[in-house]
Amino acid sequence: MDLGDVPSMWSFSAPDTWAVPGVGGASFLEEELCFVELPDLDEQHFFIRGLIEVPVRGAQDALTYSVWASLSAAGFARAVEQWEDPDRAAEPPFFGQLANRIPGYPETLRLKVRVHTRRPGLRPLVELRAHEHPLAVRQREGIDAHELPAIAAACGA
C-alpha cells in the first residue's frame, strides 16, 4: 500500500528540556546527542535521538517519530563510547524516558522507554514501556493508513 502524500515521519529537533529557561554551561545539541546543563538548578540531562516506529497495516513504510530519550549519565557515556562500534547493536538496551511531547496523544513526556542501539549509521529504536498508553498500543499493534491524516493534522501538517 502506498501512503500517498500524507507524511509518515515526524521529527523533534531537540528534547523539550532544551527550551527550558536557564540552559547554559556546557550544554550542546547535536544531530544525535544532546547534553543540557541547568546551572541554576544544579541539574544535568543527557539525551539520545531515536525512532519510535509504528507499523502501518498493509504498508511497507511505518509511521515514524524521531524523538529524544533521556538517559542516565552512565548510559549516555556508554552510548558515546560505543557510537562507532560495529558491535553496538549487541549491547543491551538503555533505559530512559521519552523527552518530547508528541501531539495527538495523552502526555508522552517522561514515559519510560528502552533505547535499542543498532549498527552505526542507524538511529536507535525507542520502545515505549508504558504498555497501556495509546502510543505504546499503536507501536505494538500498528495503525491503519486511514489514521495518518488525523495524525498529520495533530502534528501541524
**What digits encode the pLDDT tens for the residues 10-35?**
999 999 999 988 888 899 999 999 99
Structure-model confidence comparison of residues 46 and 156, the more confident one:
46
Is 4 part of a structural domain of the chain? no
Percent over 70 (pLDDT), the chain: 96
| pTM of the predicted protein model | 0.93
pLDDT of residue 94: 97
Is 147 part of a structural domain of the chain? yes
Q: Quick one: pLDDT band at residue 110, thresholds 50, 70, 90?
A: very high
Could you give the number of structural domains in the chain?
1
Is 76 part of a structural domain of the chain? yes
Do the Cβ atoms of 111 and 129 come closer than 8 Å? Answer: yes
C-alpha cell of 142?
500498528
Determine the 3-state secondary structure of 89 from DSSP: helix
Is 78 part of a structural domain of the chain? yes
Is 3 part of a structural domain of the chain? no
Mean per-residue pLDDT for 89-94? 95
Domain interval for residue 77: 9-154
Hey, which of 4-13, 49-58, 144-153 has the most confident mean pLDDT? 49-58
Q: Quick one: pLDDT band at residue 4, thresholds 50, 70, 90?
A: low
Do the Cβ atoms of 152 and 102 come closer than 8 Å? Answer: no
* Nearest 10 degrees: Cα torsion 149, 9, 134, 96: -160
pLDDT exceeds cutoff 80 at 41: yes
Cα 120 from Cα 87, distance rounded (Å) = 9
pLDDT exceeds cutoff 60 at 2: no
Is 135 part of a structural domain of the chain? yes
List residues bridging with 69 in a β-sheet: 48, 98
Mean per-residue pLDDT for 96-118? 97
Is 119 part of a structural domain of the chain? yes
